[in-house]
A and B are shown apart, each in its own frame.
Chain A
Amino acid sequence: MRYQLKPLGDQAVIVSFGNTIDPETHRFIKTFTAHLHEHPFPGLIECVPAFTTVTVYYDPGLWIQENDSRLPYDHVCETVETILTALPEQEETAARFVEIPVCYGGELGPDLEFVAQHNGLSSDEVIRIHCEGRYLVYMIGFSPGFPYLGGLSEKIAAPRRSSPRLVIPAGSVGIAGQQTGIYPIATPGGWQLIGRTPLSLFRPNMEEPSLLQAGDIIRFCQISEDEFKFWMD
């Protein structure tokens, strides 16, 4: 896969794989990220996968040698290129499948009606279409555990709210344009809220603090208000 390297400040490099958001680019990014995770090179701090890029954070201190005219950035780029050249293109890694139970509509999803009306559908049809989809977690960003999902049906797309809500409760499931997502922690936001999940997406005291990882496939399934309350207890 073709790539480009460019600095992000003086302690990180962005490895960029073109300009299109698609599953193939994503698969390669996933392979590359997994490789860096399993075989970290000296000086690697962490790497952050996104839609079309992987950003590699490094400690320039580990690359300083006496009488070396080359800079830490040059060394890191060389290391990254060596890794990329040797990386198998087609390595298929099994995606984790995660089901997200959602209680749709009512107080937990105050904008479900709006999304239905906007698309000339009934609320039940919106729920059915939302649950039928299989969504790929392209990346986690914006806030801890927040998944950027691909795969929302055009039939239930809806514009953002004209004025954002000051607080969106944790677990809220929303739609904005062609995207659907879940708010892991209470934040302000402008998405249309169609329901809420009782699952914690961000669990700071657990070994794996984020329920979701880039590369996961998720599916939403409908639960009743009683089930929601049961889960929350």
Chain B
Amino acid sequence: MSLTILRPGLLTTVQDLGRYGYQRIGVMVSGAMDSFAHRMANLLVGNEQGEATLEITLIGPVIRFEKDALIAICGADFSPSMEGIPVPTWRPVWVRKGSILKFSPSEVGARAYLAIAGGYAIDPVMNSRSTFLRAGIGGFQGRALKAGDVLNFRSSSNWFDSGVQNDLPFTYSAWRISKNLLPLYRKNPTIRVMEGGEYEWFTREAQANFFSAPFTVSSQSDRMGYRLTGPKMAVHEQRELISEAVTMGTVQISSDGNPIVLMADRATTGGYPKLAHIATVDLPLLAQVRPGEQLWFYKITLQEAQRLWIRREREIQQLIQGINFYLRLDKTRHSQ
């Protein structure tokens, strides 16, 4: 059971929820940039949340399914289609063997996730299937996908004959994840942040500007980090920070005064002062911001960030129950 990459798109990589447990030896976490969309795509096809998905970036790939498959596409809307027919996102889609999936440029958002029932048959490296591009390990041969790559996927107990009619490339469920339950994906979003460890190193003016001025995401932004331009963040005095751990969402200020937001492929440690941290609940929003867009930062406390996270995770638990219920219902209906 496999699919073939006919065109690779800009940067299509295999990702899961990250490679944890090895940061102490300098191994970055990697993983899906928008973990919410990644988790939902998996759940919609009956996978565990941590199964690998394909992360699609800005320009999508062209993929041929060599076998019938159950898939879900979540995240940015790249107007996916098969034979010119739009493929709906945020819901399970049954694909007929031989169908070719294409993507178009998106209006909003930078990344989409393609999950397949059963999961991609890829051996984990250091307990993760995420691609660690710089070290060339994990994912599909440690690299971004290329034309001609053939990815196998495993069989799934969730698979069932959905009765795709012979003249159609796919069919889909009557239900989907309600838009009300998604993060507020939008252009130029406001992102909630907490003060960072070296917040007090920065001048009053820098602190005030950080929370009131817009920042532009520069074109030198990638899975490693987003470089921002806007008002320069000045420190009271130049001081050396002894290198220590950094994490996804850490906003560090480089020596030229520009912020860098560290993302999935960040190094494990860093020596720049940390002005702020993105609240974990808002990382999916940030993951969908494209170069050239603007960001605003809104200050919250650690307490608020953790409460928001707890609330979000409770919503996700409810979502999981709903998805599982409807998936079972679909299966029962079709087996009658």
In this complex, the member of B274, B278, B305 whose beta carbon has the largest number of chain A beta carbons within 10 angstroms is: B305
Whether the Cβ atoms of B277 and A205 lie closer than 8 Å is no
Q: Is B194 located at the chain interface by the 8 A CB criterion?
A: yes
Chain B neighbourhood of A9, CB < 8 A = 194, 247-250, 277-278, 280, 305
Chain A neighbourhood of B329, CB < 8 A = none
Taken residue by residue from 107 to 151, chain B's Cβ proximity to chain A (1 for < 8 Å, 0 otherwise) reads as: 000000000000000000110000000111110000000000000
Are A185 and B134 also in contact (CB < 8 A) when A8-B250, A33-B24, A141-B267 are? yes
Q: Is B307 located at the chain interface by the 8 A CB criterion?
A: yes
From A89-97, A100-108, A143-151, A152-160, give the one contacting chain B. Answer: A143-151
Tell me the complex Cα distance, A101–B125, Å: 28
From A57-65, A80-88, A109-117, A218-226, give the one contacting chain B. Answer: A57-65
Distance in angstroms from A167 CB to nearest chain B CB is 12
Whether the Cβ atoms of B306 and A60 lie closer than 8 Å is yes
Chain B neighbourhood of A228, CB < 8 A = none
Tell me the complex Cα distance, A14–B278, Å: 16
Chain A neighbourhood of B249, CB < 8 A = 9
Distance in angstroms from A24 CB to nearest chain B CB is 15
Question: On chain A, which size bracket covers the interface?
Answer: 35 or more
Whether the Cβ atoms of B245 and A10 lie closer than 8 Å is no
Whether the Cβ atoms of A53 and B247 lie closer than 8 Å is no
Tell me the complex Cα distance, A211–B313, Å: 38
Chain A neighbourhood of B26, CB < 8 A = 140-146, 184, 210
Which of B126, B134, B138, B244 contacts A187 (CB under 8 A)? B134
Whether the Cβ atoms of B306 and A144 lie closer than 8 Å is no
Chain B neighbourhood of A164, CB < 8 A = none
Whether the Cβ atoms of A204 and B277 lie closer than 8 Å is no
CB-based nearest A residue for B303: A71
Are A10 and B125 also in contact (CB < 8 A) when A48-B23, A50-B244 are? no
Tell me the complex Cα distance, A210–B246, Å: 20
Tell me the complex Cα distance, A154–B280, Å: 44
Q: Is A23 located at the chain interface by the 8 A CB criterion?
A: no
Which of A46, A72, A185, A205 contacts B23 (CB under 8 A)? A46
Q: How many residues of B contact A (CB 8 A)?
A: 43
Taken residue by residue from 8 to 21, chain B's Cβ proximity to chain A (1 for < 8 Å, 0 otherwise) reads as: 00000000000011
CB-based nearest A residue for B246: A8
Which of B23, B197, B280 contacts A11 (CB under 8 A)? B280
Whether the Cβ atoms of A61 and B244 lie closer than 8 Å is no
Are A202 and B135 also in contact (CB < 8 A) when A71-B303, A144-B25 are? yes
Q: Is A135 located at the chain interface by the 8 A CB criterion?
A: no
25 A-B residue pairs with CB within 8 Å: A8-B245, A9-B277, A9-B305, A10-B277, A10-B309, A11-B247, A12-B245, A14-B244, A14-B245, A46-B24, A47-B24, A48-B23, A48-B24, A51-B242, A53-B242, A55-B247, A60-B306, A73-B302, A140-B26, A141-B243, A141-B268, A141-B269, A143-B267, A145-B25, A210-B27
**A-B contact sample (18 more), CB < 8 A, given A8-B197, A9-B277:** A8-B245, A9-B247, A10-B279, A12-B247, A46-B20, A48-B269, A51-B242, A55-B244, A71-B307, A73-B303, A141-B243, A144-B25, A144-B27, A144-B135, A145-B26, A185-B136, A204-B125, A204-B138
